[in-house]
Amino acid sequence: MNIHGVQLLGNGHILPNPQWKMRPHLHPFHELIVLMRGKMRVESANLRIEAIAGDALLYPARIIHAEWSDATAPVESLFFSFHAKSLKSRSVVRIQDSEGRIRQMVRWLDEDKYSSVPYIQEERRILFQAIVLEFVRNAQPRDQPTVLSTRQYIQDHIAEPLALEILARQARLSKYYFARTYKTWTGRTPMEDVRRIRANYARELILSTSLPLKDIAPRTGLGNEYAMSRIFRRYFNMPPGEWRRHRSARS
């Protein structure tokens, strides 16, 4: 399942209520439902779902569905309406947010829904795209063991020089076979994954520490501030210094 051109329209919060029920209906936009606690039932065409806390559900546009809360464990959920140009699914999709990433991100998104600060609205847009991408990731078959071991190796040696030959050698595969099959498995080349993992680690250090940017760049294998800034603009649409200032202002 691929989703591109995502545009968040709005979101809301369903509080626990054993009598809550939505009769069969449809809407012209897509909807993402994230169960924070409790249970609910969903019916759509011949599909019957008993969703529990930690589940996330995607309702494609114009798909008739009905929902109601479990009486003994009333559901609490956050819901998000959105457009997505490339979403082609014709049935409800359910995933399990086993690592809690989606639930954490939707909490942040919901907290800022009434903010009128321009940069927070831009952060909301980027954050919702990340939520949708995480949903898609969970909906895909799990990664191959070679991919998992390669990513672990990258994280363990993130500050060291990493080349295709090094990654292929640790995977015990020829360079060309490794590069070809890795992209087949993940949709990215091994070195693209290296840059993505380094960028995410750099962002984590920027948001969770007070380390100067000039120290973070070599720690994450990004070389220097200039190289790190270029990577940040590519993945996060803003330079690292601006990202840190925005987070500091919100705190």
Examine the fold and report which residue of 139, 171, 191 is the final residue of a domain before the chain moves on: 139
- Pairing of β 21-25 and β 65-69: antiparallel
Same domain (yes/no): 110, 15? yes
Same domain (yes/no): 36, 98? yes
List the CATH number of the domain containing 154: 1.10.10.60
Same domain (yes/no): 61, 124? yes
Same domain (yes/no): 52, 122? yes
Same domain (yes/no): 42, 124? yes
Examine the fold and report which residue of 87, 114, 139 is the final residue of a domain before the chain moves on: 139
Amino acid occupying residue 233: R
Count how many domains the chain has.
2
Q: What is the mean pLDDT of residues 233-238?
A: 85
Please choose, from the candidates 45, 59, 50, 66, the residue with its C-alpha nearest in 3D space to the C-alpha of residue 93: 59
Provide the domain limits for residue 10.
6-139
Report yes or no on whether pTM surpasses 0.75. Answer: no
- Write down how long the chain is: 251
Same domain (yes/no): 162, 236? yes
Phi and psi at 148, nearest 5°, equal -60, -45
Confidence (pLDDT) at 103: 92
Domain for residue 1, yes or no? no
pLDDT digits (tens, 9 = 90+) for 121-147: 888 889 999 999 899 888 876 668 898
pLDDT digits (tens, 9 = 90+) for 82-112: 998 777 778 899 998 877 889 999 999 998 8
Same domain (yes/no): 28, 48? yes
pLDDT digits (tens, 9 = 90+) for 28-69: 999 999 999 999 999 998 789 999 998 999 999 999 999 999
